[in-house]
Structure 1
Amino acid sequence: MKSHHTKQEPDWYISVDFGTTFTTVAFYRRGTPIERIHTIDNFPGEKQHNQTHRQIPTEIWYPKKDAYPFGLIKQRDNRMRFGNEVHRMAEGDEGVDVRKIYDDADRISMMKLLLDKSDYAQASKQRLQKTLESIKAKGHIDEDEDIFFHFFREIFRASKTRLGSDFDEKSIVEVTFCVPVCYSPSAVAVLGAQVERAMHDVQFGTDGQSPCNIFVVHEAEAQAMRALTESLNELDRGETFVLADCGGGTLDIGIYTVALTEPLRLGSEVNEPMAMVGAGDLNDGFRSLVKSILCKELYLENGDVTIHSIISAEVMFKFENDTKRSFQYKDTEETYSFRIRGLRKSRSDDRIQENFLVLTYEDIWNIFRLTVKEIGSMIEDAVMNAKTTGYMVSKIVIVGGFGDSPCLQSYLLEKKDRIAKKLGSPLKLRFSLKNMSAISVATGATMRAVNKASGPSRIPCQSIGILRHIPCDQTEEYSADVLSQESKRNDQEGADYILNTILWVVKKDETARINFYKLDHPYNAGKTMEIGAVEFDISNLKQTIRTANRRTGETIDKAVILVELTVIDRNLEFTARWPPKPEGEVIQGSRKFFSVASAFTPGTQ
């Protein structure tokens, strides 16, 4: 097997922050100033077309299996929805008739949890698995990971449109996807395979046959690139900091050291337990509060209009896009109004006014309290745990969409002073630039992809092998233990073969994998996953090979080809030759590619 690098630079760098609840896509065009990293905005279903730095929900929704056009429903309406479209559908913005062809049981959210094998978020994982079984039974997917393919396919399809006329089929594209530090190589491989599959399907930077350029970055390194770049003059090599990713559904905290400051590279890390806490909790708390206040205002309901639908259509949008983003921790006299058409003034509850629901500071603070306090407590635990393991934290860096919250920021500024006193050492608290926390991973990943210098050594963290059927022939160089495995007779050849043995072509280390043991052998059982298959079409050589066989005395039609494997950058190339020798002719159309980006530590060039 050969290995070499290509020199062609991408025209476009595309980075995907595939979050638990929200996803961001950033892009950069080669040759422009590095400061000009933008995000893909105005995805299908977007309500606020005038805003930038927007994320989309990490959700897809499949239509009912037996749904057909009726009434005002057109055939084009009967399709899988993704991102913003899912939320618009849930809020009833697409119309009552369209909503009827979608079952709540077929809505996929928090799909990223499928890749997390830890004990955390078990309840959410069980709900996800139940939904996957439902849509699998209805024929929407064959395998669980198909949901990733469907989501990325729509992401790339929309991105091609949003990039405009400067992007065409000749554009060279590198896609970077981000993964948590805690992900196993197999989880990265699953995600990478679906990214590659989606790129081929949409022909995003590939004609569907040529290799895909894929790069993998740890979320923490991407976050740090964005959040700390503005204050590089404050960083010292060897310095330790806590990075808290406050997202929509999860809180992810890590302790990192600075390995290099130019370019910024992270060293050793300690990961704290993740927690199911985030901005999404505020939505749930707010919805429950409003529902409890309006539960007796039954005059508002009429036919398909219910208290629940009123909250979704008239109240949640303002909370999500205004109140939640602007609520101040210390504005104790502030009130918050939400228009509800037809609402009548209540004699028993001052919050219920004519056409308006008016909430107090205490109402909103009670929604925020548990979430911000839990985040503060977990950050404190991380700082103190670092001290016990020999790391003295000097900075706390807050990233993630919820990191922009004025309430959370004010609370953490107070909390930081208490932590510093307990630590006995000064602490600095750093936030991303205003309204940039949510996109810090995607934009930071783009910065990391553009500058790959001083990354990890090119040492595999995952072994990659190919399946081979080997003959039970003592003249071959196989050990006695290998040849003792169960074999199967090939009646045409009159020979025995051991089927589905593995030849490891990329090894994690010299002792990681032993060649030519069967897939179900104890060496391999339960430790492997299929990342793809290669088929070579030799039908046009059928007569040529048959004639050559007769000349050598072969009595059966037997095709022997030489398959060359070459690692090119982060791709594994397969090329077939016949006759089966190095100088043999390349079989037309036999060049096949797989991305093996997941086989190397994220950040490897």
Structure 2
Amino acid sequence: MQDANCGSMDIAQIFTPHLTAIARLMLSQLQSAKDAGHRVQKVVLIGGFSGSASLRQYLEGRLKELSVDFGHQVRLTRGMLPGEPEIAVAHGAVLRALDKEKGPDRITQSSYGFLRTEPYTEAMHPGMKPRIDKLDGERYIKNTIFWLIQKGQQLPFHAESSILAIHTFSTTEKQLLCEEILYVSDESTESHYRREHPKNRGHEEAGRIIADMTFLRDEGKIEPIEPEIGYGGKRHYRVEFDLVMIIDGRNLRYEARWPAGGGGEAVIGGNVNIAAAFRPGTN
């Protein structure tokens, strides 16, 4: 077994990359602050490595160079006493939790949308082949995803958006059950494409609800629709309601509301935590 000898050159090769990486981060933050109009004059080191004499000496040298470029002095503060770095981190965490107005923007890293059967239009569905619904005789594109929230979008703390959901049922159906599926994707942003289309790559089911709309028929709130002459179709029921997505901080709630058109009451809903869709520290 050989003895491990470690000379000054070896030590330098081990620690120099760490020193330069820390200096690069510090200089980048100082430049960002300057670009934002802030005049920074002091740099405070915290954390376990902040007590390193080598680190302080290296950063002081880089700050002297930076001070010349900035036209004013930027220096390191005095060394902290034992326990002070931990206290500084704790104080910073509390202050950050109390005031996040200047924190990271609420930019979502994921898209959220609903599975839909959309009325076909050439402008919205170029190159797609529609299917004719056997009940109402209309042309539809089935199993598309409509991304109500798109990756890269800045979201307010509270927000609502909705789309119209349409379901048709034979008059012989015992129950009018409307299933709605919520999807999430870290890649997709474009709506109106079928679920398995490459534009919807990376989609995953995030939740689903089944809205029982049988009461609309039983209470006489909807009537059977007779097929129009020359258009095909059969006698059927048509159920329309708003499919609503509600953002509440880091929570996403989705609801089926009837009647459609705004102001309807929630028939059923579900919840999804979307904290992972934001950068750490986002309110």
Taking structure 1 as the reference length, what is the TM-score of the superposition? 0.29
* 1:57-456 aligned within 5 A: 369-380=12-23, 394-400=41-47, 402-403=48-49, 406=51, 409-423=52-66, 425=68, 426-430=73-77, 434=82, 444-455=92-103
One-letter amino acid matched to 1:450: L
Q: Secondary structure at the match of 2:210?
A: coil
* Structure with a larger share of its residues in helix: 1
Aligned to 1:573: 253
The alpha-carbon distance between structure 1 residues 517 and 411, as it changes in their structure 2 partners (threshold 3 A), is same
Name the CA distance, whole Å, in 1 between partners of 2:193 and 2:90.
Answer: 41
Distance 1:433 1:378 in 2: 25
Distance 1:452 1:558 in 2: 46
Instruction: Give the total of aligned pairs.
Output: 228
Q: Equivalent residue for 1:552?
A: 224
| 1:7 paired residue number | none
Which residue is 2:179 aligned to? none
Residue 375 of structure 1, CA deviation: 2.0
Task: Give distance in 1, aligned partners of 2:123 and 2:25.
Answer: 50
Could you state the TM-score of these two structures normalised by the residue count of structure 2?
Answer: 0.54
Structure 1 gaps of 5+ residues are 1-291, 294-348, 350-358, 473-477
Deviations 1:39-78 (A, max 9, x none): xxxxxxxxxxxxxxxxxxxxxxxxxxxxxxxxxxxxxxxx
C-alpha distance 502-563 of structure 1, shift in aligned 2 (>3 A): closer
What stretches of structure 2 of length at least 5 have no aligned partner?
155-187, 227-234
Using a 3 Å threshold, how does the CA distance of structure 1 residues 565 and 504 change in structure 2: closer, same or farther?
closer
Change in Cα spacing, 1:428 to 1:504, as seen in structure 2 (3 Å) is same
Task: Give the superposed CA RMSD.
Answer: 5.0
Q: Does structure 1 residue 518 correspond to structure 2 residue 199?
A: no
Largest Rg, 1 or 2: 2
Out of 117, 126, 150, the residue aligned to residue 484 of structure 1 is: 126
Residue 469 of structure 1 is matched in structure 2 by 117
Mapped partners of 2:29, 2:244: distance in 1: 49
Q: Is 1:594 aligned to 2:272, yes or no?
A: yes
Report the Cα distance in structure 2 between the residues aligned to 1:515 and 1:384, rounded to whole angstroms: 38
Give the aligned partner of residue 148 of structure 2: 504
Match of 1:535 in 2: 208
Q: Deviations over 1:393-441 (max 9, x none)?
A: 75444445x425x5xx111233234435555655533577645757976
Deviation sequence 1:320-351 (CA, Å, 0-9, x none): xxxxxxxxxxxxxxxxxxxxxxxxxxxxx8xx
CA distance in structure 2 between the aligned counterparts of 1:538 and 1:502, rounded to whole angstroms? 19
Distance in 1 (CA, whole Å) between partners of 2:23 and 2:12 is 16
